[in-house]
Amino acid sequence: MGRNRTELSVPTARDAGLTGCTSCGRVWPMGTEHCGRCGARLRPVDRSALQAVWAWWAAGLICYIPANLYPMLRTATLGHEQTNTILGGVIELFAHHNYLVAAIVFIASVLIPVSKFIAIAYLALAVGNEQRAGGHRHLLLYEIVEFIGRWSMIDVFVVAILSALVQLGAVAAIHPGPAAVSFALSVALTMLSAQSFDPRLIWRGPARTEGP
């Protein structure tokens, strides 16, 4: 826990009455609106940013519902048309013993989005409640969410590739379903939600969340 002690001793820009630029790292006196070096808007570290997180989060969740209810793919083979929702496709792949693809699709389209919703909600709720010592785990979680969030887009790309490629006249044709749009929207919105989350909030202890 030696590291923790060091960490606790490290002053923050906020402690010094400064605001750090999240874009280029320069610090400016509190109250400065725009970074003089990179021109980014300086965001003070406070809970107000969390509203944007929740707003994007809710929008993403709303979009995620039709993404699961509507068909992702319409597969027409020899006059027989079949529609697949995300979960339906996973189940079918699994039934065809195509475990690898089933796992990839399941992870990318179900597991990641759902865990992302949970993770962002957890991080947002935890702001101000956690011990500063827990910051490392939370930061790791945040970084994972931010890194992995984009990968949910894979399912949209798969649908696009399949639809563009499998156009063999009457034999087989794949068309995208409405769920592709709402799923892509959901992924984009959760990405925005994650980006809106200010990781610096993680490091603020419960006592100081209310600001100076």
Partner 1 sequence: MTDQRPPAELVTEPAPDPIWTRLSVIWLVPLFALAVTLGVAWKSYSDRGELIEIDFADATGLRPGETVLRFREVEVGRIETIGFTPDLASVRIGVRVNKDVAPFIDAEARFWLVRPQVSAQGISRLDTVLSGTFIEGYWDATPGASTRRFTGLDRPPVTLDPSKGTWIELRADDAGGLAEGAPVLFRGVTVGRLQNLRLNEADSGVTLDAFIEAPHDRRLTTNTRFWDTSGVSVSLDATGVSLDIRSLASLVQGGVEFATFASGGTQVENGQGFRLYPGAEAARNSIFGAGISEPARYILLFDEAVEGIERGTKVQFRGIEAGEVTDLSIRMFTDTTGTPFAKQQITIALAPERLGLAPGTEQEYVNEFLAGEVLHGMRARIAGVGLLGSTLVIELTDVPDLPEAEMNLSAVPYPTIPTAAAATNDLAATAEGVFNRISALPIEELLASAIRTLDSVSALAESEQTRALPGELTGLMAELRELADGLNEGEAAAKTITALDGLSSAATSVQTEIEGLGAALASTDAAAQAVAAMPLEQIGAQIDGLLADLRTMLGSEDAEQLPRALSDTLEQSAALLAELREGGAAEKLNGTLVAAEGAASALEGATARLPELTAKLETLVTTAERLVASYGERSAFNAEVLDTMRELRRATSAFGSLARMIERNPRAFILGR
Partner 2 sequence: MNDTPIHELMACPKCDALHRARHLAPQERATCARCGALLIAPRVRSFLHVVALSFTAMILMVGAVFFPFLKISTQGMSHASSVFEVAMAFSEGWLAPLSFAVMALIVGLPVLRFSALIYTLWPLANGRPAWPHARRIFRLADQLEPWSMAEIFVIGTGVALVKLAGLATVSLGPAFWAFGALIIVTALKNAFLSQWTIWDAIGQS
**Residues from 188 through 207 that contact partner 2 (CB under 8 A):** 188, 191, 195, 199-200, 202-203
In Å, what is the CA distance from 89 to each residue of 6, 99, 105, 116, 157?
51, 12, 8, 21, 15
Give the shortest CB-170-to-partner 1 separation in angstroms: 6
| Residue pair 24/157 in contact by the 8 Å Cβ criterion | no
Give the shortest CB-169-to-partner 1 separation in angstroms: 5
Give the shortest CB-152-to-partner 2 separation in angstroms: 9
Which residues lie near partner 1 (CB under 8 A)? 78, 169-171
Task: Collect all residues with Cβ–Cβ distance below 8 Å to 63 and sequence separation of at least 6.
Answer: 182, 183, 185, 186, 189
- Helix or strand run (H / E) with residue 42: none
Give the shortest CB-158-to-partner 2 separation in angstroms: 5
CA–CA gap between residue 118 and residue 155 (Å, rounded) = 20
| Residue pair 181/153 in contact by the 8 Å Cβ criterion | no
Of 78 and 95, CB closest to partner 1: 78
Block residue for tokens 């409405």: 178
- The one-letter amino acid at 47: R
Does residue number 26 form part of the binding site for partner 2 (CB under 8 A)?
yes
CA–CA gap between residue 181 and residue 63 (Å, rounded) = 9
Give the shortest CB-5-to-partner 2 separation in angstroms: 11
Does residue number 16 form part of the binding site for partner 2 (CB under 8 A)?
yes
The span of 55-63, 64-72, 94-102, 117-125 binding partner 2 (CB under 8 A) equals 94-102
Of 49 and 173, CB closest to partner 1: 173
Does residue number 154 form part of the binding site for partner 2 (CB under 8 A)?
yes
Per-residue binding string, partner 2, 158-177, x by CB under 8 A, is xxxxxxxxxxxx-xx--xx-
Among 76, 104, 110, 126, binds partner 2 (CB under 8 A): 104
CA–CA gap between residue 160 and residue 167 (Å, rounded) = 12
